[in-house]
């Protein structure tokens, strides 16, 4: 059987109803944790945790560093939803399945989404251990989660993407980086999403540079597309785990990427906590 938009709408509504029944009203800000960045969940004063496998329609996270749970709690006194783990196109999921959690949270009133990921640096000016604030993206998946029948209640048929990454949130992140003493580690740039799971070889690295990409990864863009389509403000943050020169290419492994992302994580966590605090100042 092919894709059925009626079935998909029903799945989204069922998942939203399940979360509403078990969690009540949800915070309007969420963060999605990427590869090697799951330790952020340890900073949360947890109110409730629901495993993805218990939520109707949710896919299963298969990447070892992704916990696979939805957490509601507080950070610095500010409530938020944490998606601890994501789904990837390379796992065999469609882009509609990859973005299912975002669509469900949209139904529950999500207004802001902070997306994090581990990425490989393409810009030769970048250094491993830096954090890139995403200002734009390239979708090289060859697939778009909005393909197929459009649900007008979810968003327009042809959404404008001139500002998919909210300028206000980018400025907020830059201010946060300065106050956290991370200014020298912060860059802004273009993130390119490739299908994976094979890591990019030297020729692709060279080509992606010529396309204007500053960092490369295998996630995030589908979620950003759906969030922006649904009127949700987006901030994207990439932990730059390595920078490869196509003319002096060094072998890579997922283990090394996870290890480097985990090393960057404490800095990224400080920045995210500062951003969340700025988003929700004390009354």
pLDDT, average across residues 228-252: 91
Q: How many CB atoms sit inside 10 A of residue 241's CB?
A: 27
Report whether pLDDT(90) > 90: yes
pLDDT digits (tens, 9 = 90+) for 127-184: 999 999 999 999 999 999 999 999 999 999 999 999 999 999 999 999 999 999 999 9
User: Model confidence over 257-279: pLDDT tens digits?
Assistant: 778 878 888 999 999 999 999 98
Nearest CA to 103 out of 211, 3, 15, 7 is that of 15
* Reported pTM: 0.94
Enumerate the H helices of the chain as residue ranges. 5-23, 95-98, 100-107, 167-179, 202-210, 221-229, 254-279
DSSP state of 152: T
Give the Cα separation of 79 and 280 in Å (integer).
9
- Distances in Å between the alpha carbon of 142 and those of 89, 94, 147, 197, 221? 11, 11, 11, 14, 12
User: Which domains does the chain show, CATH number per domain?
Assistant: 5-278 (3.40.50.1580)
Query: Which residues have CB under 8 Å from 79's CB, separation 6+?
Result: 27, 29, 47, 72, 73
Question: Averaged over 56-60, what is the pLDDT?
Answer: 92
**Integer Cα distance of 26 and 72 in angstroms:** 8
Residues 170, 178: Cα–Cα separation, whole Å: 13
pLDDT, mean over the chain:
92
Q: 40 or 224, which is more confident?
A: 224
Distance CA 88, CA 99 (A): 9
Tokens of 119: 């990425």
- Percent of the chain with pLDDT strictly greater than 70: 97
Structure confidence at residue 283 (pLDDT)? 47
């Amino acid at each position: 059987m092919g894709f059925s938009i009626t079935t998909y709408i029903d799945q989204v509504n069922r998942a939203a109803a399940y979360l509403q029944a078990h969690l009540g009203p949800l915070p309007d800000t969420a963060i999605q944790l990427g590869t090697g960045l799951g330790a952020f969940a340890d900073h949360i004063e947890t109110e409730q945790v629901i495993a993805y496998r218990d939520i109707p329609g949710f896919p299963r996270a298969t990447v070892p560093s992704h916990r696979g749970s939805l957490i509601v709690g507080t950070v610095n006194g500010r409530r938020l939803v944490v998606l601890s783990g994501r789904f990837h196109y390379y796992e065999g999921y469609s882009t509609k399945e990859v973005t299912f959690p975002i669509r469900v949270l949209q139904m529950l009133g999500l207004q802001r989404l902070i997306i994090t990921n581990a990425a490989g640096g393409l810009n030769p000016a970048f250094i491993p251990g830096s954090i890139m604030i995403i200002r734009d993206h390239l979708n090289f998946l060859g697939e778009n989660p909005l393909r197929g029948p459009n649900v007008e209640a979810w968003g327009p048929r042809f959404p404008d993407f001139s500002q998919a990454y909210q300028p206000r949130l980018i400025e907020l992140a830059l201010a946060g980086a300065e106050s956290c003493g991370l200014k020298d580690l912060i860059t802004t740039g273009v993130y390119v999403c490739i299908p994976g799971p094979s890591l990019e070889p030297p020729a692709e690295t060279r080509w992606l540079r010529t396309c204007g990409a500053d960092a490369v990864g295998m996630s995030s863009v589908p979620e950003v597309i759906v969030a922006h389509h649904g009127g949700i403000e987006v901030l994207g943050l990439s932990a730059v785990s390595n920078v490869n020169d196509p003319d002096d290419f060094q072998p890579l492994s997922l283990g090394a990427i996870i290890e480097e992302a985990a090393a960057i994580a404490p800095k990224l966590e400080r920045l995210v906590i500062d951003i969340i605090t700025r988003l929700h100042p004390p009354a």
